């Protein structure tokens, strides 16, 4: 997108799912970052209208203006209405944040068809309809779109089969939009949160023991916050990401990189335990059969052998 005169993020933005959690934090971050440019012009959308109005008051106290629009993104008429309201309120659109999402926990074998359709309507169809409705305005402003997806879009998550599938589809939608709309100057990227504490995930962390287990599983040894995600969204929408499109930015504290380290390592761990200074005590290297690399006796012949 075209950088602003100051270092601020986009002035005119539409944020869905803005009443709580990640969406609320993104709206507050955009308002804060736009203060040098005279404040943000934010259209806030959610089903929780009272909470949107409370947020709007906070944004106004920061020098921004807020346009509140209540609506259920499961209704195919709502995305277009939200975009139209944003354009009418502020005369254009620099950024679109498709953040609203839902989950219907259920094993796939027991997932009701109406639940499957509802999850896909909000999580996958709505970002498409929002982007399509906003395309002309974003082309004019050479703007950017961020779609909040999930680590579950690339990692099957039981019992959230419909949710995982919808987020995987949404990741491909982001890539498709980025490829098709790049020539129009529109950037489209995905923000995939990992384990984030929000009002929507409160139940998952109600048990302190479960929370601690999850924290320890994350390499950074903490859960993410909505503010962590807002910082990533602000980057993707701003001028510092001017050459980034079609990307998935996985903000998970390194969780997705722990697959191999979570597996039993058997003999490898036993060997290390038996020889604390294994590297210095191993036999001298001998030429490999191929004459190219060398390997120690018992060493795997290639990196692939460890995969």
Active-site residue set: 163, 167
Any bridge partners for residue 65, and if so which? 41
Q: Which tokens belong to 280?
A: 């210095």
Q: Rounded CA gap, 138 and 115, in Å?
A: 32
Phi then psi dihedrals of residue 77, to 5 deg: -85, -20
Q: Rounded CA gap, 300 and 295, in Å?
A: 8
Q: Rounded CA gap, 30 and 95, in Å?
A: 10
The four Cα atoms 220, 224, 227, 230 give a dihedral, to 10 degrees, of 100
Ramachandran area for residue 245 (φ above 0: left; ψ -120 to 50: alpha; else beta): beta
Do residues 29 and 227 lie in contact, with contact meaning Cβ atoms separated by under 8 Å? yes
* Greatest CA separation for the chain: 75
Do residues 97 and 23 lie in contact, with contact meaning Cβ atoms separated by under 8 Å? yes
Do residues 30 and 229 lie in contact, with contact meaning Cβ atoms separated by under 8 Å? no
- Interior angle at CA 117, CA 250 and CA 45, nearest 5: 60
Q: Which tokens belong to 197?
A: 């504490």
The four Cα atoms 81, 30, 38, 143 give a dihedral, to 10 degrees, of -60
What is the Rg, in whole angstroms, of the alpha carbon atoms belonging to the chain?
A: 23
Does an H or E element contain 128, and which? helix 126-141
């Amino acid at each position: 997108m075209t950088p602003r005169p100051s270092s601020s993020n986009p002035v005119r933005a539409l944020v869905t799912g803005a009443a709580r959690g990640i969406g609320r934090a993104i709206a507050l971050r955009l308002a804060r970052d736009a203060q040098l440019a005279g404040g943000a012009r934010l259209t806030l959308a959610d089903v929780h209208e009272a909470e949107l109005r409370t947020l709007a008051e906070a944004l106004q106290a920061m020098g921004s203006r807020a346009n509140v629009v209540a609506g259920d993104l499961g209704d195919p008429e709502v995305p277009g209405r939200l975009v139209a309201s944003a354009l009418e309120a502020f005369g254009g659109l620099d950024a679109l944040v498709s953040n609203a999402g839902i989950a219907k926990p259920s094993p796939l074998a027991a997932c009701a068809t109406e639940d499957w359709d509802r999850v896909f309507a909000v999580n996958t169809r709505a970002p498409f309809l929002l982007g399509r409705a906003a395309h002309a305005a974003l082309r004019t402003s050479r703007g950017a779109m961020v779609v909040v997806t999930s680590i579950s879009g690339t990692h099957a998550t039981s019992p959230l089969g419909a949710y995982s599938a919808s987020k995987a589809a949404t990741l491909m939608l982001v890539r498709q939009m980025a490829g098709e709309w790049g020539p129009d100057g529109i950037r489209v990227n995905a923000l995939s949160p990992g384990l984030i504490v929000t009002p929507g995930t409160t139940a998952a962390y109600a048990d302190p023991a479960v929370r601690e287990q999850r924290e320890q599983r994350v390499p950074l040894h903490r859960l993410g916050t909505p503010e962590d995600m807002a910082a990533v969204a602000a980057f993707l929408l701003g001028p510092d990401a001017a050459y980034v499109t079609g990307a998935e930015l996985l903000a998970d504290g390194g969780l997705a990189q722990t697959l191999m380290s979570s597996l039993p390592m058997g003999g490898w761990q036993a060997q290390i335990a038996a020889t604390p200074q294994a590297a210095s005590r191993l036999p001298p290297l001998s030429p490999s059969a191929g004459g190219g690399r060398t390997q120690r006796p018992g060493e795997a012949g290639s990196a692939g052998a460890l995969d």
